[in-house]
Amino acid sequence: MKTAHSIASLTLAMLLLLMTGCTYSFGVRSNNLEFVYPNSNVTPVGEVSTSDSATTFLSPKVFDAKEINALVQRALAEKGGDILLNAVITYKLTTIPILPIMTTDVHITGTAAKMTVGEQNLH
């Protein structure tokens, strides 16, 4: 009976070890992700955020510029903004060491703003 209990405890410990993962986070901050035209009025319309996730085998998912731009556009659509100010892009990579399974999360936050071109009164 004692041997069966020891084997069960060892099996549980091994399962817990196999399910243990590691998470790495890093971020990027930008004042604005797009060019603000000269002679334009920029009016903040509100805070926005969006995220996406991908689970892969062997190597982590790399979100390319096209995918990041699509996420920014999705965030801007929340408030009807034209540009994203004070943007923060946070990446989180979670791995399971024994199994080469990786989940990559990307989260974008910032202030959506409307831009009206050519209406600034210049003196």
pLDDT digits (tens), the chain, 123 positions? 567 767 877 777 766 666 666 777 767 776 556 666 677 788 899 999 999 999 998 888 888 889 999 999 999 999 999 899 889 999 999 887 777 888 999 999 999 999 887 765 666
Please tell me whether the overall predicted TM-score, pTM, comes out greater than 0.85 for this model: no
Angstrom distance (rounded) from CA 109 to CA 51: 9
If DSSP codes are grouped into helix, strand and coil, which group holds residue 39? Answer: coil
Angstrom distance (rounded) from CA 85 to CA 4: 61
Angstrom distance (rounded) from CA 96 to CA 102: 7
Q: What domains does the chain contain, in order, with CATH numbers?
A: 21-117 (3.30.110)
